[in-house]
Amino acid sequence: MASSEVDWHREMLADLPRVRAMGAALKAALTPGEVVLDIGTGSGLLAMLACAYGASQVYAVERGHILEVARQLARHNGLEGRIQFISGHSTAVELPERVDLVVAELIGDFGLDEGIWSVFADARRRFLKPGGRLLPEGLALHLAPTAEGAEFTNWVGPLWEETGLDFGPLRALASQVSRNLWAAPDQLLAGGGCLLRCDLYQDGPLIPEGMVQAQITRAGLLTGWVGWFEAFAGGQPFLDTRPPNTGSSWSNVFLPIGEPVAVEPGDQMTLSVRLDPRFWSWEFSMPRRGVVRQCSDFYSYPAGIFKPPPQPTR
């Protein structure tokens, strides 16, 4: 069955903490009478809220077929005359005027994975008035080591017992896949740290990358790292997906390290991550143990299909 774009937006609209956080940040950022651009408007929620908070004109850009639903919803709520809907990618459309505020909820499960940094770079140059504002204004990406996710690697033994067939080669490929889960905070083995801070008023790198260090605070079997994001407005975080994040329409990300490693309090470790849009790559190391693991979504494909990606820089 094909996935429905409408149902994806229904899921986000039903996430009231998400709606509440974005709505409050928008209300605080907007001065009545201002002109607003909503990029990736989806169902039109933020465009309609901008009208409710006093925007004189809203431009709502969307490339998906959900745009037709947004138009219908604006009419249904008596706001059609105050919102101009524009079909297309924001980098390929034009506006009749510059705006006071650009807002976009192009925030993926790990913050940057829906392209908000490059989209805002274009919007700042072509659409924003001098002194205009962005929402969000920045993101921070965090990672922490975890004992969660063993189910992604421990299925081969039971399958062998059931069938007598060895699926080890497929397990090796699958153990390289970055995944989504709703992380359990009691499975974290350390507090973790910030991988990357993103100032959306500045142009970002073509391929974002960073490094995080952690010191284990409780013994366990390390299986990978869990990631989450914070979004900022007015210099303060207004939204985050730190575990526990159960029930959110945003999940956490999980970066596996291959074979689990037994760790003890005080163990030091480093994770370097390269967020290439094609293949995420990460290098896990515990120098005192002599452990170094090169991991990437690229390695989840059979050899020869794609050109190997560059490794994260330390």
Q: How far apart are alpha carbons 107 and 75 in whole angstroms?
A: 27
Q: Provide block-wise average pLDDT over 10 residues at a time, the chain (314 residues).
A: 75 94 98 98 97 98 96 96 97 98 97 96 98 98 95 88 93 91 96 96 94 97 97 97 92 95 96 94 93 92 72 61
State how far the alpha carbon of 240 is from the alpha carbons of 92, 137, 190, in Å.
30, 14, 18
- Give the model confidence (pLDDT) of 14-40 as tens digits: 999 999 999 999 999 999 999 999 999
Q: How far apart are alpha carbons 145 and 223 in whole angstroms?
A: 8
**Per-residue DSSP letter, 111:** B
So where are the chain's domains? 3-105, 139-305
The class (CATH top level) of 139-305 is: mainly beta
Percent of the chain whose predicted confidence (pLDDT) is above 70: 96
Domains 3-105 and 139-305 share a fold: no
Superfamily name with CATH number, domain 3-105 = Vaccinia Virus protein VP39 (3.40.50.150)
pTM of the model: 0.92
